[in-house]
Chain A
Amino acid sequence: SQQGEEDPQALSIQEGENATMNCSYKTSINNLQWYRQNSGRGLVHLILIRSNEREKHSGRLRVTLDTSKKSSSLLITASRAADTASYFCATAPKTSGSRLTFGEGTQLTVNP
């Protein structure tokens, strides 16, 4: 199995609700990043959390990191239809230099 596995694979919610996506990984990391992808094209960086941080906020985004459980969560509050996209976590393992390893992603659908 691979580094950076998102859960759930797909999530469908109504506008205004909160969306929570989880990511698990297997090896020690330098940092963990969340990306968003619209329609299978370029990825947009959302937020980076370092291994010595436990929580980070950016606008409507809240990311947590639990290195003891090797897991992270991305919370999007007050979701909008425009948040509909695929969300990926990416880890920078300590042993792989600069490579980012991506999970399979969570497809989020926000219904108006």
Chain B
Amino acid sequence: GAGVSQSPSNKVTEKGKDVELRCDPISGHTALYWYRQSLGQGLEFLIYFQGNSAPDKSGLPSDRFSAERTGGSVSTLTIQRTQQEDSAVYLCASRLGTWDDSGNTIYFGEGSWLTVV
């Protein structure tokens, strides 16, 4: 597609349930990022993919969080046993280029707003 696509746009889930958030990056973009943003806060880095591998997953807050990317394209962020503090906007972004070429623009999706009740 023309831009980074994320789904669902909004998700309300009960505490303890698992959720999956999907990101479809811009075609041809090899780098893919997940960030989290709590209300009124800055962006918190979660994980970075280059192709299907994740050379930097240091931002995942706990082992309840995992992400995968298949075919060098679509990525899924999974949160198991959701907690209320997981409520946030989860933003996906993609970029053309290799890991050491940070000069290319990162394009963000509209985000998935997760509310855990």
Contact = CB atoms under 8 A, between A and B. Distances in A.
A100 B103 contact: no
B39 interface: yes
Contact of A98 (B43, B99, B108, B109): B99
Interface in B59-103: 89, 91, 93, 95, 98-103
A36 to B, nearest CB: 11
B51 to A, nearest CB: 12
Interface residues of A, number: 27
B111 interface: yes
Nearest to A30: B102
Nearest to A104: B42
Interface residues of B, number: 31
B103 A99 contact: no
Given A48-B105, A97-B100, A43 B91 contact: yes
B107 A45 contact: yes
B18 interface: no
Contacts, number: 71
B21 interface: no
A25 B7 CA distance: 33
A19 interface: no
Contacts of B48: 97-99
Contact of A45 (B98, B101, B106): B106
B37 interface: yes
Given A41-B111, A42-B108, A103 B42 contact: yes
B108 to A, nearest CB: 4
Contacts of A104: 41-42
A98 B31 contact: yes
12 contacts: A40-B39, A40-B89, A42-B108, A43-B91, A88-B43, A90-B43, A97-B55, A97-B100, A98-B95, A99-B33, A100-B102, A102-B43
